[in-house]
Amino acid sequence: MTEMSGIQTGCFCLVFYTLIPAIVKKTTLFIGLMLFQSVFVSTSAININGVEKKIDTLEHRQVGPGVFYTRFQLPDYPLSAYILQVDLNNPHNFIETFQAGNQVGKTEAMTTAYNRLSSTTHSTIAGVNGNFWIVSGQGQPTELLGVPHSGSMLGGEMITDPNSWNRGHGSIGFAMIDANKKVWVDDIAFTGKVNIPGKGGYTISQINRMRGDNQLVLFNNYLGDGKTTRTDNNGIEIFIKPADNKQWKTNGDVTCVVTRIIANKGGNLLEKGESVLSGSGTAQTFLSTLNPGDTVLVNMSIKTLTDNQTPQVKEMITGNALVMKNGTLTNRNTNEAYNSQLYPRTGVGASQDGKVLYLIVIDKGSGSNGANTETMCGILKAFGASDVTSMDGGGSAQMMLEGMIVNKPSDGKERPVANGWFVYHNAPEDKNITQIAFEDLRTEMPALASYKPVILGYNQYGVLIDKNIEDYTLSCSEGLGQITPDGAFIANGNATSGTLTVSYNQVSITKTIRIISGDISFRLDSILIDEQRSYPIEVFSISTSGSLTIPPALLNWSIADESICKIDNGILKGLKNGKTKIYGTIGDIKDSLTVYVEIPEQVKMKYDDFSQAGSPWKLAASSQLSATLSSSGIPLDWSSGLAVDFTYKSGRAPFIKLTNQKPLYALPDSISIMIKTGDILIDRMLISLRANNSKQAVSKEFKDFVSGGGDTEIKYAISDFFDTNDIAVFPVWLDNFNFYLQAMTENQAYQLGFKEINLAYKGREFSGIHIPSDQSGFNIYPNPVQEEILIKTENQTGRFDIDLFNLSGQKVRTLQTEIMTGNTIAIPVQKLKPGYYLLTIKQNQKKSTFKIIKN
C-alpha cells in the first residue's frame, strides 16, 4: 500500500456520509443582497401535521436571486418531493403566469415555454404547472378544449375569468400575486363589469370562452393570432383599447376607447392590443349605444372571501381547492376524492405575510407513493407556508428548473400543460463571482474517502453564473485529512471532525465534515482487460446511505496469479491471457475482483467466418418468406459463409433476423460485417450489441448497401454504441442483425449472404511472424483456440506440410495432406497446454507462418 503523509491508517471501518439534512428549525443563509430565512438545515426529521417523519434532503441550493430549490425524500411514506422557495422581498425576482403558446386552448411543454419566454431582462429560472383545463368528456364545447378552468391572469390582464368551476365541493383555491409582489392564496369573489358613463353598467359573464344568450363577454389577444371571437351573427362586438396606453388592472376602473364596432356578424379577428366587448340580447342593447371614440370603464373586481381584502392582483392561477388557510387544514382535504387519494401533486403556498412563495411537486411512481393534499399541506407548513391551494396533479404535476423537468412525471415523460407560474429574474448582467457554495450537502464521509467538491459561483445578485468552478483552492483543518496535488481531499483514517474550506476570487466558504466508519466494496465483481488499457480500480465506501470513492492506492493489493495481471498504485493492467483474482485490503476489511485478460494478437481479427459446424446462428424471418439458413449455396467467390435463401411474398413489415448472442473478444475498437445482398431491396439493417453491464441491446441503423453482386462492409466503432470509457461495458456481446425488406418481385427467389465478422484493435504493433490470410491464401480459425485449429484454403490446392511448434521450438503436431480449394483441415489441440504456438504451412519452397493462441 502507498502511504500518504499526514493520514493515519490504523484501525477503522468505512461508511458513507449521510445525505439526509432535515427540517426542524430555521437557519440563516446569506446569498445576494439580502438575508433569506430558509428552513433547510442538516438534521434528519420534519414535523408533518404533528408527527415527526424522517427526511432525506438530496439537494438544496440557490437557483436565482432569492430563489431556493430543495429536492428531498420522505422514506416513511415513501414519497419524493421538490420545493421552490421564492423570497419576494428580493428586488431581482418576479413571478408571472405563463399561458401555453400565449393562447387559450393550447397546451405547451414547460421546457419549451422556458426558452420562448426567456430574455436578458426576463430570464426564466423555474416553474410549475397551474390550472386544470377543459378536456374531452367534460360536456364542454369543442371550441373550449384546452382552455383553463376558472381564473388566470398575466400582468393584470385577465386570460380567463374566475368562475364557479368545482364550487360544489366548497372553497376554491386561487393563487395570486399583487402589484406589491405579495402572494395571496385564498378563495375569491370575482365581478367583471362594463360601465358606460351616464348610461349604467353590465356584468361580464365570461372571458375568452363562449357567448350565451343575453351575455356580455370579453375577448382579448389571448384568443391567439388568427383566432376569431367565438360568437354567432346575433350580436354586436365593440372593439376597445385602454386609453392613453394605460395597463389593465384589477379592483379599479380601466378607461377604454372604442376603436371600431361590428354588428350582426360574429367570428371577428382582433388587432394587436384590442379587446372585444361582445353582447347578445339585452347585452347587445346595452352596447349598441356606443360609437367609435366613446369611452367605457372596465372593472375586474376581486375580493378575498376569508377576510374581504381587495388586492390589486397582477398574476393568477387557480387550483381545485383551498386546502390550508392560516396554517389550518380545511375540510377540502377530505370532502373531495381527488384531494384525499394518493396522487402526484402540485401545490402553491404562501407564508403568513405573503412575502415567501412556495411551489411544490410530489411524485407518484419510481418509489414514491404520491400524497393526499393533507400531507402536501403538512410538508409546506413545515417549510413555512400558511396558505395552500392544490393545483392540477397527475401527469401534469411537474416542476421545471433551468429548462429541465426535475421531477419524475407519472406519464414517464413531460406533459404539455395549459398554464402555470414561472419564476424569473431581471438582475443586471454581471459575470463577476462574489459568492460561492458547495453543490452537495455532504457533512459526513468515511475514513480515507476521496472528495473533490463541486463549487457553485454566484454574482452579487445571487444569479448562478458558474455551475462548476474549477480553479478554486481547497484546504482542511489539521488532522481532518490531506489535500492531494490535484486538489482532492482525502479523509483521515480515523473518526474525527473538522472543516473544509474553499477559496476562490477572494471569497471563501467553509463547512464542517465528520469522518465516520463503515465498509468497502469494489464497483465491479469481475472485469475484462487487455495489456494496453490501465484501469484505476474503483473502490467505494458503502453504507445504507450510499457510496463514495476511495483512492485505490490506499489499499493493499494481492494477486492470485501474478503472471496474468499487475497492480501499480491501485491501477490494474493485463499481462497475458487468462483468469485470476485480485484482493484489496484495508485493515480487517477485504474485497475481491475476478480479472479476465484477453490480448488480441492481430490488429484485425476474424471473429466469425460463419463456417462453424452446427452454426450457432439462429434465423427468424417473416413466415411468408419461407426463409432457410444454410452454409451451402453461398456465393461462388467466397470460401466460407452462411446464406439465407427466401422467396419474396408480400406481407406486413417483412424482415430477416440472425441472432447469435456471444461476447466479442477482448476490447475491440470496431466491428465490421461483410455481407452480400444481391438484388434484395433492403429498407434498413439494424446491428444490435449489448454491453456486459446492461440487459438491453443497443441498435445502430445501416442503409448504404452495395447492389449488383458486390460485397457490403458494415462497420461501426464500439463507441458508437456505448461509452467505452467505462470498462464495465466489456465484454461487448453481439446480439443480432435485423434486416427490414422493401417490396420486391413477388415469388422471386433471393439470397442474403454473410461472409465474415472482423474486430479491429487500435494502437498495437505485432511481430512480423503473422501473414494475413489475404496474402497467404489461408483462413486460420478460431484464434484463440481450444479444441481444434481449422485451416481453409481460399485459392490454394495441392500437397502441404503442416507443422505446429511451441515457443521452445518443439514440434507438437505435424500433418501432410492434399488440400483442395474450399476444403477445411482440422488439427486437434485440446490436449496442448495453454500458451503461444507457431503454425507453419509449406508447399514447395513457400511457407506461411501464423501465431496461434491456445486457451
CA 776 to CA 795: how far, in whole Å? 9
Which residues are within 8 A (CB) of 21 and not within 5 positions of it... i.e. 6 or more apart? 40, 41, 42, 43, 44, 55, 57, 60, 441, 443
CA 427 to CA 3: how far, in whole Å? 50
- Over residues 400-416, the pLDDT tens digits come to 999 999 999 999 999 99
Give me the pLDDT at residue 35, please: 32
- The sign of the CA dihedral 280, 282, 287, 289 is positive
Q: Do residues 794 and 777 make contact, with C-beta atoms less than 8 angstroms apart?
A: yes
Q: Is pLDDT at 770 greater than 60 in this prediction?
A: no
Which residues are within 8 A (CB) of 95 and not within 5 positions of it... i.e. 6 or more apart? 86, 88, 177, 181, 183, 315, 357, 421, 422, 423, 424
- Over residues 545-583, the pLDDT tens digits come to 557 888 898 899 999 999 999 999 999 999 999 999 999
Q: Is 555 helix (H, G, I), strand (E, B) or coil?
A: coil
Q: Is 467 helix (H, G, I), strand (E, B) or coil?
A: strand
Q: Is pLDDT at 447 greater than 50 in this prediction?
A: yes
- Over residues 324-358, the pLDDT tens digits come to 999 999 999 999 999 999 999 999 999 999 999 99
Give me the pLDDT at residue 613, please: 56
Q: Do residues 665 and 600 make contact, with C-beta atoms less than 8 angstroms apart?
A: yes
CA 506 to CA 312: how far, in whole Å? 44
CATH 2.60.120.260, the chain: domain bounds: 604-760
Number of CB atoms found within 10 A of residue 119's CB: 10
User: What's the 3-state SS for 215-252?
Assistant: CEEEECHHHCCCCECCCCCCCEEEEEEEHHHCCCCCCC
Cis peptide before 485 (omega within 30 of 0): no
Give me the pLDDT at residue 39, please: 39
Which residues are within 8 A (CB) of 563 and not within 5 positions of it... i.e. 6 or more apart? 575, 576, 578
Helices (H), 77-131: 110-117
- Residues 257-266 as b/e (b if ≥16 CB within 10 A, e otherwise) read ebeebbeeeb
Going by C-alpha positions, the residue among 388, 338, 398 that lies closest to residue 365 is: 398
CA 790 to CA 800: how far, in whole Å? 14
CA 732 to CA 87: how far, in whole Å? 52
Q: Tell me, which fold does domain 773-854 have in CATH?
A: Immunoglobulin-like (2.60.40)
Q: Do residues 251 and 311 make contact, with C-beta atoms less than 8 angstroms apart?
A: yes
Residue 591, amino acid: D
Distances (CA, A) of 154 to 226, 227, 249, 768, 851: 21, 19, 10, 77, 78
CATH 2.60.40.3080, the chain: domain bounds: 773-854
Q: Do residues 172 and 319 make contact, with C-beta atoms less than 8 angstroms apart?
A: yes
Q: Which residue has the higher pLDDT, 14 or 522?
A: 522
The CATH number fitting domain 190-304, selected from 2.40.10, 1.10.10, 1.25.40, 2.60.120: 2.60.120
H or E element in which residue 442 lies: none
In the chain, count H helices and then E strands: 5, 69
- Over residues 595-653, the pLDDT tens digits come to 999 999 888 899 998 887 567 899 999 999 999 999 888 888 888 899 999 999 999 99
- Over residues 46-81, the pLDDT tens digits come to 999 999 999 999 999 999 999 999 999 999 999 999
User: What's the 3-state SS for 112-125?
Assistant: HHHHHHCECCEEEE
Give me the pLDDT at residue 543, please: 59
Give me the pLDDT at residue 136, please: 93
CATH 2.60.40.1080, the chain: domain bounds: 435-516, 519-597
Residue 635, amino acid: P
CA 659 to CA 619: how far, in whole Å? 7
- Over residues 200-219, the pLDDT tens digits come to 999 999 999 999 999 999 99
Q: Which residue has the higher pLDDT, 38 or 397?
A: 397
Cell numbers placing 399: 416542476
Q: Is pLDDT at 22 greater than 70 in this prediction?
A: no
Number of CB atoms found within 10 A of residue 588's CB: 8
Work out the pLDDT band at 808, boundaries 50, 70, 90. Answer: low
List, in sequence order, every residue forming a beta bridge with 329; answer none if it has no partner.
324
Going by C-alpha positions, the residue among 399, 668, 419 that lies closest to residue 532 is: 668
- Over residues 678-694, the pLDDT tens digits come to 999 999 999 999 999 99
- Residue for cell digits 433551468? 402
- Over residues 272-286, the pLDDT tens digits come to 999 999 999 999 999
Distances (CA, A) of 74 to 57, 427, 653: 9, 35, 49
Which of 478-482, 629-633, 770-774, 850-854: highest mean pLDDT?
Answer: 478-482
- Residue for cell digits 406486413? 652
User: What is the radius of gyration, based on Cα positions, of the chain?
Assistant: 37
Give me the pLDDT at residue 648, please: 97
Distances (CA, A) of 519 to 453, 482, 812: 22, 21, 52
Cell numbers placing 834: 495453454
Q: Quick one: average pLDDT of 241-270?
A: 96
CA 285 to CA 279: how far, in whole Å? 8
Cell numbers placing 630: 444454410
Give me the pLDDT at residue 475, please: 97
At 381, give phi and psi (nearest 5°): -65, -40
Q: Is pLDDT at 673 greater than 70 in this prediction?
A: yes
Q: Which residue has the higher pLDDT, 766 or 727?
A: 727
CA 196 to CA 200: how far, in whole Å? 6
**pLDDT over 70 percentage in the chain:** 91
Q: Is pLDDT at 82 greater than 60 in this prediction?
A: yes
Residue 136, amino acid: S
- Over residues 126-146, the pLDDT tens digits come to 999 999 999 999 999 999 999
CA 230 to CA 209: how far, in whole Å? 7
- Residue for cell digits 349598441? 288
CA 316 to CA 489: how far, in whole Å? 49
CATH number of 604-760: 2.60.120.260
Under DSSP, the state recorded for 707 is P
Q: Is 460 helix (H, G, I), strand (E, B) or coil?
A: coil
Q: Quick one: average pLDDT of 219-245?
A: 96
Q: Is pLDDT at 845 greater than 80 in this prediction?
A: no
Q: Which residue has the higher pLDDT, 251 or 843?
A: 251
State the average pLDDT for the chain. 89
User: What's the 3-state SS for 314-347?
Assistant: EEEEECCEEEEECCEECHHHCCCHHHHCCECEEE
The CATH number fitting domain 435-516, selected from 1.20.1740.10, 1.25.10.10, 2.60.40.1080, 3.40.50.2300: 2.60.40.1080
Which residues are within 8 A (CB) of 716 and not within 5 positions of it... i.e. 6 or more apart? 670, 671, 672, 687, 700
Which residues are within 8 A (CB) of 624 and not within 5 positions of it... i.e. 6 or more apart? 649, 650, 651, 654
Q: Is pLDDT at 810 greater than 80 in this prediction?
A: no
Q: Check if CATH label 1.10.10.10 holds for domain 519-597.
A: no
Cis peptide before 663 (omega within 30 of 0): no
